[in-house]
Amino acid sequence: MTNDQLDCKVLVTPTSFGRGDPALKNAIEKAVREVVYSPFDRPLTSAELIPLVKDIDGYIAGLDRIDESVIEAASKLKVIARYGVGVDKVSIPAATRRGIAVTNTPGANSAAVAEMSIGLMLSLCREICRADRGTRKGEWPRVSGIGLRGKNVGLIGFGSVGREVASRLKGFGCRVLVSDPQLDTKVAEQLGVYPTPIEELLAEADFVSLHASLNPGTDSMVNAGFLSKMKRGSFLVNTARGELIDEQALQVAIEDGHIRGAALDCFRKEPPGKDHPILRLDQVLLTPHIASHTDEAASAMGWMSLQACLSVLRDEKSPYTVNRDIYEKKS
């Protein structure tokens, strides 16, 4: 260990951490005494985490299940630095009780997720995946798509990703409707979007794109009732959290023809089982939770999570701390 290194051990589990930016791994390995990388190329379960966290001081976390049992097993832990925005898989109350800072990376992947959301809309409009599959089989499918220009697009959630989506949709001439209980009306006015009650939005939108955070109030918000209120023949896009959707209700709505199609980048269980009924529906476009996986976004999330982790290990306050009340307890 060198003189300028922190005498700390850090666990790093995000699958894309440093993959396109080798300087990230070099930086963390120079900054601390020891770095442990995840033995799996996927998010970890709490049972898998418990033996890994017992003697770590800092934790740069992917989409792992960090419940109370993990927190209690991590006797030396000072910081959980989420590589991403969502902290729904972290037991914030347990971390706060232990005085562990939980940080995230707001805005780091917003553009990437917004671009993916629009890419999925375009793929649904033009049935690009179906056309590709048919052409590869030697067929010459006559796919009749629809245009995105002039369509009503409803955004559920208007945080940083929703705003990035709205700004890009202006170039397609779309009418953008937004529903968010914490809507910033000034930003909505600047972006030229229309604040709309959710039932009215569902009735008018040709596309409904989910950008809400996961919490008890939004878990399974896209249920049978929600889907029945959507415009017949409309599309659903989800690049937020799989738990927002009742997947069985979505399956029924697609099979009976009320919903024309859907694009899902995330699922309640990841990866979904091979026998998941949604996987059998040609009207559903599926991607493996990759909306934030661009070189730019991964680098930004990596550096922000690294700096947050090191700040707390140096007994400094990170501006990206989610549970800021831990600082009040320490003062």
Q: Is residue 211 among the annotated active site residues? A: no
Which is the CATH superfamily of the domain at 6-108+294-330? NAD(P)-binding Rossmann-like Domain (3.40.50.720)
Assign 20 a pLDDT band (cuts: 50, 70, 90).
Answer: confident
Mean of pLDDT values over 96-122: 97
pLDDT digits (tens, 9 = 90+) for 169-203: 999 999 999 999 999 999 999 999 999 999 999 99
pLDDT digits (tens, 9 = 90+) for 27-86: 999 999 999 999 998 899 999 999 999 999 999 999 999 999 999 999 999 999 999 999
- Residue % of the chain over a pLDDT of 90: 93
Are 6-108+294-330 and 110-286 the same fold in CATH? Answer: yes
The active-site residue, picked from 139, 199, 270, 316, is 270
Q: Is residue 241 among the annotated active site residues? A: yes
The pLDDT assigned to 328 comes to 77
The pLDDT assigned to 274 comes to 93
Mean of pLDDT values over 87-100: 96
| The CATH number of domain 110-286, selected from 3.40.50.10330, 3.40.50.720, 2.40.100.20, 3.40.50.80 | 3.40.50.720
The active-site residue, picked from 82, 241, 260, 293, is 241
Assign 1 a pLDDT band (cuts: 50, 70, 90).
Answer: low
Assign 2 a pLDDT band (cuts: 50, 70, 90).
Answer: low
What is the residue extent of each domain of the chain?
6-108+294-330, 110-286
Instruction: Evaluate if residue 330 carries a pLDDT over 80.
Output: no
Q: Are 293 and 109 in contact (CB under 8 A)?
A: no
Q: Is residue 289 among the annotated active site residues? A: yes
The pLDDT assigned to 148 comes to 96
